């Protein structure tokens, strides 16, 4: 059994702090064993400056398992990071990207069982020429062009946006029947394979108020979403919709489905984060490997203050471990 490979994320965010705390509280929180791909000297500085004073050891992916019980195993990158909490810089972009690429290589080589990512901020990466909207699309590229699907998964709700990191004004033009079908089919397949839900029930939202109210408030439901639902049903997938988004997230409605497929980022992520900010995990479906992440971002506003909570990262590590164990049991 390999460990989980954790990426550095943006070193100016709360990633280092929640990583140290996930390791510090490993017994109380039952944190699965992991190594982080980062800069060991930087991590020693973080540990000291945050007042945590935790042991950090330079590791390889292969000896990390023997180190994890006594110190945080840090597998060094070529890149080094300076300690500057709350001050993101495009100078860190190479190291942030190297960490993701190396972790994917470790997973593909069977050295690590799954990939867990610490949060990145998009803007400093874009400023350095990074061409992908976020991890999700970059991982699709690293997986050889797989069509990745973002799912926010918490105890109360699993929610999937069809369109992801695009301006809201572009959503109606970007939304296609084919993308709704592909996203929903990938969600149904991974709910079966990775989450063990035999016959997943999927609720599909509308785009417009009241799901368009029969065309009176927009025609996307009639022209784009309903044809996708018809196609999904013809494939034997249990789907319902288009549902008005304002009434599909209350407790009774949530009890009737296993995942909600939504038309745009905030339609899915607002209910997911509102219902469980500390427990919800961002998991990428449709990839040939397992990837999870905390649901929150870099939180530059609190970086370096010592108040960041590691809960969502620990939930992401646990979910990755659960999925990797299921996969291993099937092989
Ligand atoms: N997985 C990812 O890589 C990921 C996810 C979401 C956002 N982001 C990126 O993060 C950056 C900042 O995004 P944002 O400000 O919208 O969201 P955010 O999640 O970073 O912060 C939102 C609020 O929640 C607080 N918060 C977040 N995580 C916390 C934690 N673990 N403990 C205590 N408080 C916490 C923050 O202090 C802030 O007030 C953006 O650049 C965004 O693109 C990355
Ligand atoms: N939209 C995601 C969220 O708010 O949780 C986040 O930006 C992460 O996306 P990637 O995993 O694609 O970087």
| Each residue's pLDDT tens digit, 170-228 | 999 999 999 999 999 999 999 999 999 999 999 999 999 999 999 999 999 999 999 99
CA angle at 8 for the pair 121 and 133, rounded to the nearest 5°: 35
Q: Which of 122, 126, 282 to mutate to test the pocket of ligand 2 (most atoms within 8 A of CB)?
A: 282
Q: Among candidates 134, 110, 111, which has minimal Cα distance to 122? A: 134
143 and 156 in a single domain? The answer is no
128 and 209 in a single domain? The answer is no
Q: Residues 253-297: pLDDT tens digits? A: 999 999 999 999 999 999 999 999 999 999 999 999 999 999 999
Given a cut of 90, is residue 22 above it in pLDDT? yes
Q: Among candidates 153, 119, 170, which has minimal Cα distance to 271? A: 153
Last-in-domain residue among 244, 264, 281: 281
Predicted local confidence at residue 330, as pLDDT = 77
231 and 114 in a single domain? The answer is no
Length reported for the chain: 331
Predicted local confidence at residue 212, as pLDDT = 97
Tokens 């970059």 appear where?
Answer: 138
221 and 299 in a single domain? The answer is no
Percent of the chain scoring above 90 in pLDDT: 96
Tell whether residue 136 is among the known ligand binding residues.
yes
Given a cut of 80, is residue 1 above it in pLDDT? no
Distances (CA, A) of 94 to 48, 80, 89, 126: 25, 10, 11, 12
138 and 22 in a single domain? The answer is yes
pLDDT band at 50 (very low <50, low <70, confident <90, very high): very high
168 and 257 in a single domain? The answer is yes
Predicted local confidence at residue 2, as pLDDT = 83
pLDDT band at 146 (very low <50, low <70, confident <90, very high): confident
Q: Share the mean pLDDT of the chain.
A: 96
208 and 134 in a single domain? The answer is no
Tally the domains of the chain.
2
8 Å CB contact between 159 and 269: yes
The pTM assigned to this predicted structure is 0.96
Q: What is the mean pLDDT of residues 164-174?
A: 96
48 and 182 in a single domain? The answer is no
Report ipTM for this prediction.
0.97
The DSSP annotation for 193-245 comes to HTT--SS-EEEEE-SSGGGGTTTTT-SHIIIIIHHHHHHHHHTT-EEEEEEPG
Between the CA of 134 and the centroid of ligand 2 the distance, in Å, is 6
pLDDT band at 308 (very low <50, low <70, confident <90, very high): very high
Q: What is the mean pLDDT of residues 121-148?
A: 93
pLDDT band at 31 (very low <50, low <70, confident <90, very high): very high
Q: Residues 53-62: pLDDT tens digits? A: 999 999 999 9
> At 221, which CATH number?
3.40.718.10
Q: Token pair for residue 142? A: 């690293």
Predicted local confidence at residue 228, as pLDDT = 98
Counting ligands in written order, which one lies closest to the CA of residue 125? 1
Predicted local confidence at residue 331, as pLDDT = 60
Q: What are the φ and ψ backbone dihedral angles of 312, each rounded to 5 degrees?
A: -70, -35
127 and 79 in a single domain? The answer is yes
Rounded-to-10 torsion of CA 262, 250, 152, 145: -20
Q: Can you give the residue range of the structural domain that contains 14?
A: 1-148+287-331
Does ligand 2 come within 6 angstroms of the Cβ of 269?
yes
135 and 223 in a single domain? The answer is no
Atom 2 (ligand 2) nearest CA:
295
């Amino acid at each position: 059994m390999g460990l989980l490979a954790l990426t550095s994320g943006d070193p100016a965010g709360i990633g280092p702090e929640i990583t140290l705390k996930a390791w510090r509280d490993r017994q109380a929180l039952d944190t699965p064993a992991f190594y982080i791909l980062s800069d060991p000297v930087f991590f020693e500085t973080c540990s000291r400056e945050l007042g945590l004073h935790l042991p950090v050891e330079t590791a390889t992916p292969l000896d990390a398992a023997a180190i994890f019980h006594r110190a945080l195993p840090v597998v060094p990158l070529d890149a080094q990071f300076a300690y500057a909490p709350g001050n993101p810089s495009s100078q860190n972009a190479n190291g942030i990207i190297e960490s993701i690429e190396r972790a994917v290589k470790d997973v593909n080589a069977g050295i690590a069982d799954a990939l867990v990512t610490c949060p990145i901020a998009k803007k400093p990466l874009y400023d350095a020429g990074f061409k992908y909207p976020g991890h999700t699309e970059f991982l699709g590229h690293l997986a050889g062009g797989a069509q990745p699907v973002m799912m926010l998964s918490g105890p109360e709700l699993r929610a999937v946006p069809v369109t992801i990191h695009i301006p809201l004004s572009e959503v109606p033009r970007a939304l296609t029947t084919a993308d709704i079908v592909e996203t929903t089919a990938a969600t149904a397949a991974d709910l079966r394979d990775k989450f063990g839900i035999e016959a997943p029930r999927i609720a599909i939202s509308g785009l417009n108020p009241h799901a368009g109210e029969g065309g009176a408030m927009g025609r996307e439901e009639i022209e784009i979403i309903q044809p996708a639902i018809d196609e999904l049903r013809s494939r034997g997938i249990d789907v319902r919709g288009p549902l008005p988004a304002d009434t599909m997230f209350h407790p009774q409605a949530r009890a009737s489905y296993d995942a909600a497929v939504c038309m745009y980022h905030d339609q899915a992520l607002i209910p997911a984060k509102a219902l469980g900010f500390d427990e919800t995990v961002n998991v990428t479906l449709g990839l040939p490997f397992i990837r999870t992440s905390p649901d929150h971002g870099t939180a530059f506003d609190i970086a370096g203050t010592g108040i960041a909570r590691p809960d969502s990262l620990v939930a992401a590590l646990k979910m990755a471990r659960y999925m990797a164990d299921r996969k291993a049991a099937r092989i």
